Amino acid sequence: MEAPPPGAARALADLRRARRQNRMGERSWGELAYRVYVTALVTLLVGSSVVGWIGDESVAPSAVETFRAEAPAWIGIAVAVAVLLAVRTGARGGPLAIEAAELHLVLMAPVDRGAVLRRSATRSIVTSLGWGTVVGALAGDLAAQRLPEPDLAWAGAGALAGATTGGLVVGSALLLAGRRVPPLPATVLALVLVGWAIADTADVVPASPTALVGRMVVWPLSFAPVALVATGVAILLAVTGRALLRNLSIEQARRRSTLVGQLRFAVTQQDLRTVLLLRRQLADERSRPRPWVRTPSGALARRFPVLVRDLQSLARWPVVRIVRVLLLGAAVGLALRGAASGTTALVLVAGVAAFVAALDAIEPMTQDLDHPTRLGSYPVAEGVILLRHLAAPTALMALAGLVALAVAYLVDPHVQVLQLGAMVWLPASLAAVLGATVSVNTEEGTSSQSDDLIPPEVAGPRILLRLVIPPAIAVVGSVPVVVAHRAELRGDDPLAAAVPAVAAVLLLLALVAGWLRYRGELRDSIAAASGGART
């Protein structure tokens, strides 16, 4: 039997219609349109406000020329890394996340799987292109604050480059998933692309293919139609990937459908820890049975059990996690270098990248938090154990910080970069770790009974704060870089200006550490007081 039974296609269309009607049954089109309108308006207002608020000064003509010449290669690295991530996803059956019922009831029926999957693929492509366009346009608008030529030109070029990147990403993932390319050769191929892009920045090889997207970004300065080749490749990949989905591995799709379903639920619950764990499962990222290095034992382990436990965990990191943290470290270095030269918004990028890396670094602590009964059973205050858990992740983040410093110096080989980097290095590392620690500790308390008593007007902003404060702590660690740059613009000594900023950051971090230390006692006191009030 090679053809679907007669009427199957019609049944499938009816199924879609019935589901859509049932889903829409409780909502009116007017309500839906209003929601879309409000969301679009808020996004537009917030985006343009942030861009306008940052409003950095224009760069010198020589810097514009440097940007025009060098930016394509650097943007090429970012695009190549995005393709690498997409390739890894595709080799594991992504990016489609098929609903479990769709998989069991439709894909296991004698219907044309390709036709069923193409619908999901279209949604995936549209989403990817949409996000690429929005992010690209915002980045272009941001660049326009400092560069010559009209805002619209930069936003348009950014939007097209973003959409092209989105197409390259989703297309390569779909193609690999549909052709069932194993992870190893796919990853090697993508790594070659990343290596080429990196070598391109040093001008030791011809321009990398992904640098074409970068050339599109600088169109307002230098129009090069050849960049459209990248858009053509993106379209080709997306169209081919969508067309060849018939052979998608059902086993991988089934695994993804389970994990992605849980992942979506965790996201709606703002449960970052679960999101992280599920994402690792999706990426097949497991701890090594054998540690890379032997960890201390004997007297040292008895004297510092928490530190040694943390080192044992970190020593089992899989290669992919190590590479990810190092890459994030490099991204922090690049972003801070950009912030130090006047693009203030990049300090947010640096802070968020450090925060994401720190979420990995505090894994040993979160393992303890995942078992609250055990954590509470130790004859030591919970806050003390949390503080002891900070040492190993901070040391690890400091190593990633060295990578950041090295990258920043490579891009801008001036001694001042090293001096400023040395001042910010440890506070920024600690800030990232404390931000991540606050994040997992506030999640842990989300389901407390006291939350039930909070009115909705307070609960909303509280959730927002819980989401915003942890990465904000990580961002604060890099703020001295911006302070130094502002001082330089005024003609002051940037390093001298950074000293009080670093001191202020350290003070803030001490307060955060204090909160972590005494949080348990505070919570118990409040619970006792509210319990007493009720009785």
Partner 1 sequence: MTSSRLRSRTTERTVVPAVAADELFKAYGDAPAVGPIDLVVPPGEALLLVGHNGSGKSTLLAMVAGLLEPSEGEARVFGEPPGSMAARAVTSYLPDTPVLYDDLSVREHLQYVSRLHGADDDPARLDGIMDRLGLLDRADQLPSQFSRGLRQRTAIAVGVCRPFGLLLVDEPFVGLDTAGRDALVELLREARSEGATMVVATHDPSILGWFDRTVELSDGEVVADHAPGDPLVMDTTVDEGDEGDEGDEGDEAD
Nearer to partner 1, 7 or 456 (CB): 7
Least distance to partner 1 from the beta carbon of 30, Å?
21
Q: Long-range contacts of range 81-84, CB-CB < 8 Å, 24 or more positions apart?
A: 81/194, 81/327, 82/165, 82/168, 82/169, 83/168, 83/169, 83/172, 83/190, 83/193, 83/210, 84/187, 84/190, 84/191, 84/193, 84/194
- Let me know the angle formed at the C-alpha of 331 by 325 and 332, rounded to the nearest 5 degrees: 90
Is residue 144 within 8 Å of residue 138, measured between CB atoms? no
Nearer to partner 1, 10 or 302 (CB): 10
| Residues engaged in binding partner 1 (CB under 8 A) | 1-8, 10-12, 14-15, 18-19, 22-23, 99-106, 108-111, 249-251, 254-255, 258-259, 281, 284, 286
Q: Say which residues have a Cβ less than 8 Å from residue 208's Cβ, sequence separation at least 6.
A: 73, 76, 80, 193, 196, 197, 199, 200
The residue among 424, 412, 404 whose CA lies nearest residue 476 is: 424
Nearer to partner 1, 85 or 103 (CB): 103
Tell me whether the omega of the peptide bond preceding residue 95 falls within 30 degrees of 0, making it cis.
Answer: yes
Nearer to partner 1, 43 or 247 (CB): 247
Nearer to partner 1, 6 or 298 (CB): 6
Is residue 477 within 8 Å of residue 430, measured between CB atoms? yes
Nearer to partner 1, 141 or 360 (CB): 360
Nearer to partner 1, 116 or 438 (CB): 116
Query: Any idea what DSSP says for residue 296?
Result: P
Nearer to partner 1, 186 or 434 (CB): 186
DSSP notation for 227-286: GHHHHHHHHHHHHHHHHTGGG--HHHHHHHHHHHHHHHHHHHTT-HHHHHHHHHHHTT--
Least distance to partner 1 from the beta carbon of 39, Å?
22
Burial 278-287 (b: 16+ CB within 10 A, else e): bebbbbebee
Rounded to 10°, the helix 346-361/391-411 angle is 140
